[in-house]
Structure 1
Amino acid sequence: LLFVLCHGLLQFSQLLYSAYFKSIITTIEQRYGLSSYSSGTISSLHEVSNSVLIVFVSYFGTRVHRPRVIGIGGLLMAVSATMLSLPHFLSQPYEYDSVLHSKNRQDLCKLQGNASDHGCGQDDSRRLADTNNLWFLMASAQLLFGVGSVPIQPFGISYIDDFAGAGNSPLYIAILFAVSVFGPAIGYLLGSVVLQIYVDVDTEQEVRHGDPRWVGAWWMGLLITACCLVLTSIPYFFFPRTMPADESDMKDDFKEPDVSLLDFLKLFPRMFVRLLLSPLFLMLVLAQCCFSSVIAGLATFLNKFLERQYGASPVYSSLLVGAVNLPAVAVGMLGGGVIMKRAGLTLKTIPRFSVALLTTSTLLCVPLFFMGCPTQKVSDVNPSSPLECYANCSCPSSAFNPVCGSDGIEYVSPCHAGCTNFTRDPNNTLRLYTSCRCVSGGQSHARPASCPNGCPHFLLPVILVMSLAALIACLTHNPLYMMVLRSVASEEKSFAIGIQFLLMRLLAWLPAPALFGTAIDTSCIWWKRVCGKKFSCGYYDNNILRNRYMGLQVGYKVMGVFLLVLLGRKAQRMQEYCLEKRPEGLL
């Protein structure tokens, strides 16, 4: 039981780390000017090293000191979490366009005869160098994280299964998942706390929380998760290689034929092809890949979607995902297990049950296409005709400091609004930009910060509808998982689960975030630029963003439902591996 608790805590820390990293992705994008495609790729890179090594885990199963290997894996993950926070300490302090602090006030309109573009300054070239270093560091850290996370689940579960005694194993594994389920939710909540602190803790700043230029202390949570991983890995070095268990069970387990690694690698492709030629197994795993892709897209970019579409701050969107969406997923998964046990679903009824629930879940997503509003009017961006009024203001092309004119139109910076002056409050914070030549109407002034988003009233209904759809879809998680176990012969069970995870990584968890990122990037209508290179996206076309992001999810779900319908028809004609003969089939 002690091992189960330790393992639950380590898995909890691992999921805490993954979820926290996903909750700060939009902040890292903004700080280092990444596109969504790049951040999506970075967030799924750990699947590469994981997929390569997972094959060997099934071979080395009982031949190594499992608890120690798990402990080493945990320490590797802690190292990778620390590496991820390094870009913050290696790059120069975060700089933003500002009138009060910048050296030559280039954010205001300085009337000159001709519009000159400020060349590529030293600061700008350093910002680009920082972004390139970040790519290298974060990619290496994610690959290392993948290596560290390989032994955790397979070794942990097999160790518990070997030494728990016949009746206790399902209970222990249920406890394990129950403990680790809270990891992701707490990861997002940690994100929402940390992002309220300004990124450079030791400097005073004029941007307030909620300003589009605000960047939270994303690196702080990474150091916290690294500490958790170290603390939960240490106990593993004190567990024995084997524990006393039922003698009868043990003799069977350790009589494994000793296959050499070379023979194993020769056998592997043959078994792999045999599994893939089983149409039932293949359709099932492909259907699961479709649903996993939806989860990957939601986990990585739901924050960003809520921020851009409904004007939620990064803090509030992380809070909503952690407090509403993820608990709904956990309830769905547990509910699926209960239904499976109570209703006694069979190989023939699982596809029907799943199709009914997943169709409902897909239909719930349809209203989301209409819950949103277009991008606010931004001068120069939509409509994208440059205005004459700031033509001789010599505005830098990299300026990004949104202001909201008194005419209700947003401008990319005070310079683009043609403002030549500003007023302060008594406590030296900026109040208004004045005498703005591009702002029409009597009072030609502009407020710092973006114009208010027209859609905040949709935010809660959207998150509730999404959570309900997720809850209904997750009820099928456990039954579909059981169906994989029942569609293969019992001696191939562990191999089949390994292949299922491998295919889900390669076909869903790896490509999906990059695909969703590309869909988000294609809806960008104005990129920030540094030294003439694209930095991160400044403005999206909200309608296209919503239709592409939701459309990709619905497309995946429809594909999955279609595969399950085919599967159901195929299962009608199949005989089931009878469960009564094999008690271990329940696990």
Structure 2
Amino acid sequence: MDANHKDNGNSDYILPEEEVVLKSVSVEIDEDTTCGLWFIKGKLLQKFANKKAFVFLYGILGCLFSATYAYYNGTITTLEQRFKIPSKTTGIITVGNDLSQLLVSVILSYYVGRRHRPRWMAIGLYTVVLFCLLTALPHWLYGAGKDALFLTIEYGQMDNNNTDKVFELEKKKVLCGINQTLTECDMEEGNYAPATAILFTAQLISGIGSPLYYTLGISYMDDNIRKSKTPALISISYFLRTLGPAIGYALASICLKLYISPSLTPTINNNDPRWLGAWWLGWIILAGIIFLCASLLALFPKQLPRAAARKLTTRSTTDEPELPRSFKDMMKTFNRLVKNPTLMLNNFAAVFYFLGYMPYWIFLPKYIETLYKQSASASSLITGTAGLIFSAIGVLLSGLIISKFKPTARILAAWNVVVGAISVFGIISYVYLDCLDINPIAKRYQSTNSCNSNCNCDYVKYNPVCSQDGKTSFISACHAGCSQYSLTNLTKLYKECSCIQSDDGYGYATSGNCHVDCFSKFYAFLAVVCLLKFTGATGRVSNFLVTVRCVEEKDKPVAMGFALMMMSLCAFVPSPILFGIILDKACLVWGKTCSGNGNCWLYNSETLRYTLNFTAAGFVTIGTIFDVGVWYFVKGLKIFDDDVEFELKDI
């Protein structure tokens, strides 16, 4: 060792390579490694220019990002009911997000992958803020709607407290023998094409932000974190993101417990199928929080100081200079990616996994409402919280195990195959977790029977009643043939029901579905959901590592954008439409409007269980087969590198 660099007991002793790095970094620090934006700079901000702060904020934003999708899924049933939208249309609206991802993900990832990624991520998140505000806009344009206003105390007070008039109106809307005709249908209903267009546009805008946030954020982390630390920190980021669905569904549950117009007093409770919750409120809350956090993300530097120092110490004189971005170079990059068998097989596996998982991400609250007779609020809460602990444990546990034991690429790929197999068997088990007591009701009572053929119930709203035997439900008092109505101690009693026989002639019915005990099967369903959440979470980190290690470092952002494009084209776009059609095909009773069918009132649960779950299981099976191909080709792939690591002071 050079005598000029002896320690001599000096605690501030610096190695020669560190001295070079410090000088180099001091030159470039103002350009690439300084926190802040415009006049918002300083030493206080610079303290946060580290991997822990970025991973934490990135994870929080991922949590909020995931919460927006979960909140949308949690309020889908209410949206369909409010604007009379069938599930197929809901699926088409959801596709808007994936269409824009398909068009811009690769191009944006290629052209901005080497620029100031935190600021571009912030721009992407601002589009998510706009998405939230636009999604809430239809409420401000159309209000709560006549059906919701009719079910409030204030509605009767609009005409000098003439509650008798309200009473007569309700009798006209629900009872048999009123002779409603097509000309008496409510022209307001089914005329919400502008609202549907706004919701679709909001999804299109959101799709621009997704590739900027996910592809740039993951590549930024991988470039600024030591390879040996990547699994643990990535798992922490994923862990924070797993909180997102729970927060989104919990927020949906809270908002749906409030009436759609919180300033009014409803005459029904949130267990009534006519209840409409304040679906729009959560979008305002999410927009404000995401805007604040995105603004903080924009303050991070182009490159973290310690990562810049490590690159300077390991930079080779043979490193190729970075070429300017061009269409020709982009095509060469795509050619490299397409010829990478590991990457392509991994992408195809992900495509089929997403095809299979999509119905449970989008329609799970509706599935729970339909098959297990839970309220919209309870379904959203259960969906968000049931698997949270198991997902969180799975992500953290897998990240820590991978960081500690550093398994080979083949072991990581083999575990993904195991996860796929468990998912297939779990999804198939959903078919047999049914509530049998509901099926006879759904099959027997559709829309018109001989006993109610003269009641003209086409435009009567879905308002189920339970016959006096306590076992048979009808979709409305009109469909039960009831011609009389009374209100006693807030209990609605429908009399003279031609479809209900009693010893004295025509029987009676009470409002609401008959009680059906579905809890044992429902708890079994939740147990399987939690198992799949746990196993699926354990495969996230390993899948990410295989994806980013099988391509050149310069191709990472583009590879992730390319994968996102494939997901959008082959999975995210067709899957919501396909499963929306499957849901609509299982519909027994449609609500009718002047312009045609509205939303579905009653599903055939048996048809729904078989078609949806077996279709999903088939897609996941194909994805598992592709994962076997990944396992074959990753032999020799290096996951962990030997990193140069030392402490830099005053950076």
**Same fold by TM-score greater than 0.5:** yes
Give 5+ residue unaligned stretches, structure 2: 1-49, 152-164, 645-651
Shift of 1:85: 0.6
Shift of 1:377: 4.5
Corresponding residue for residue 53 of structure 1: 104
2:344 is the counterpart of 1:276 = no
Shift of 1:480: 3.0
2:287 is the counterpart of 1:226 = yes
2:183 is the counterpart of 1:119 = yes
Among 570, 584, 587, the residue aligned to 1:524:
587
Paired with 1:75 and 1:567, the residues of 2 have a C-alpha distance of 36
Corresponding residue for residue 417 of structure 1: 480
Shift of 1:150: 3.4
Structure 1 residues 224 and 280 mapped into 2: Cα distance closer, same or farther (>3 Å)?
Answer: same
SS at 1:556 equivalent = helix
* 2:136 partner letter: S
* 2:472 partner letter: I
Paired with 1:343 and 1:169, the residues of 2 have a C-alpha distance of 13
Any conservation in 1 of the 2:394–2:538 contact (CA below 8 Å)? yes
Shift of 1:344: 4.1
1:44-78 CA deviation, whole Å, 9 max, x = no partner? Answer: 42122223222233333366444333333323221
Structure 1 residues 120 and 339 mapped into 2: Cα distance closer, same or farther (>3 Å)?
Answer: farther
Corresponding residue for residue 141 of structure 2: 90
Corresponding residue for residue 44 of structure 2: none
2:516 is the counterpart of 1:453 = yes
* 1:415 partner letter: C
Shift of 1:566: 4.3
SS at 1:445 equivalent = strand
1:250-305 CA deviation, whole Å, 9 max, x = no partner? Answer: 5959x9846454x3x22333432443234333222211222222332211111111
Paired with 1:346 and 1:465, the residues of 2 have a C-alpha distance of 30
* 2:499 partner letter: C
Structure 1 residues 481 and 157 mapped into 2: Cα distance closer, same or farther (>3 Å)?
Answer: closer
2:103 is the counterpart of 1:36 = no
Any conservation in 2 of the 1:281–1:487 contact (CA below 8 Å)? yes
SS at 1:305 equivalent = helix
Corresponding residue for residue 392 of structure 1: 454
Larger Rg: 2
Paired with 1:579 and 1:467, the residues of 2 have a C-alpha distance of 30
Any conservation in 1 of the 2:586–2:607 contact (CA below 8 Å)? yes
Corresponding residue for residue 604 of structure 2: 541
How does 1:505-516 map onto structure 2 within 5 Å?
505-516=568-579
Paired with 2:501 and 2:487, the residues of 1 have a C-alpha distance of 22
Any conservation in 2 of the 1:362–1:469 contact (CA below 8 Å)? no
Paired with 2:447 and 2:376, the residues of 1 have a C-alpha distance of 31
* 1:38 partner letter: T
Q: Which moved more, 1:99-108 or 1:141-150?
A: 99-108
SS at 2:449 equivalent = coil
* 2:637 partner letter: Y
Structure 1 residues 258 and 392 mapped into 2: Cα distance closer, same or farther (>3 Å)?
Answer: same
How does 1:40-439 map onto structure 2 within 5 Å?
40-61=91-112, 64-96=115-147, 103=169, 105-109=171-175, 111=177, 117-119=181-183, 121=185, 124-129=186-191, 131-160=192-221, 172-241=233-302, 244-245=305-306, 246-247=308-309, 249=311, 257=321, 259-261=323-325, 263=326, 265-374=327-436, 375-378=438-441, 382=444, 384=446, 386-407=448-469, 408-426=471-489, 429-439=490-500
Any conservation in 2 of the 1:109–1:390 contact (CA below 8 Å)? no
Paired with 2:455 and 2:86, the residues of 1 have a C-alpha distance of 29
Structure 1 residues 116 and 171 mapped into 2: Cα distance closer, same or farther (>3 Å)?
Answer: closer
Shift of 1:471: 1.8
Paired with 2:375 and 2:256, the residues of 1 have a C-alpha distance of 10
Paired with 1:171 and 1:104, the residues of 2 have a C-alpha distance of 60
Structure 1 residues 229 and 220 mapped into 2: Cα distance closer, same or farther (>3 Å)?
Answer: same
Any conservation in 2 of the 1:371–1:462 contact (CA below 8 Å)? yes
Shift of 1:215: 1.4
Shift of 1:174: 4.4
Paired with 1:579 and 1:468, the residues of 2 have a C-alpha distance of 28
Give 5+ residue unaligned stretches, structure 1: none
Shift of 1:341: 3.8
Paired with 1:423 and 1:140, the residues of 2 have a C-alpha distance of 46
1:210-254 CA deviation, whole Å, 9 max, x = no partner? Answer: 11111111111111111111221232454455554444625959x
SS at 2:452 equivalent = coil
Paired with 1:142 and 1:55, the residues of 2 have a C-alpha distance of 18
* 2:501 partner letter: S
Any conservation in 1 of the 2:458–2:592 contact (CA below 8 Å)? no
Shift of 1:383: 5.4
What is the total number of aligned residue pairs between the two structures? 571
SS at 1:125 equivalent = coil
* TM-score normalised according to structure 1 size: 0.87
SS at 1:126 equivalent = coil
Among 527, 537, 545, the residue aligned to 1:474:
537
* TM-score normalised according to structure 2 size: 0.79
Percent of aligned pairs with the same residue?
26
Any conservation in 1 of the 2:467–2:510 contact (CA below 8 Å)? yes
Paired with 2:216 and 2:484, the residues of 1 have a C-alpha distance of 65
Shift of 1:454: 4.6
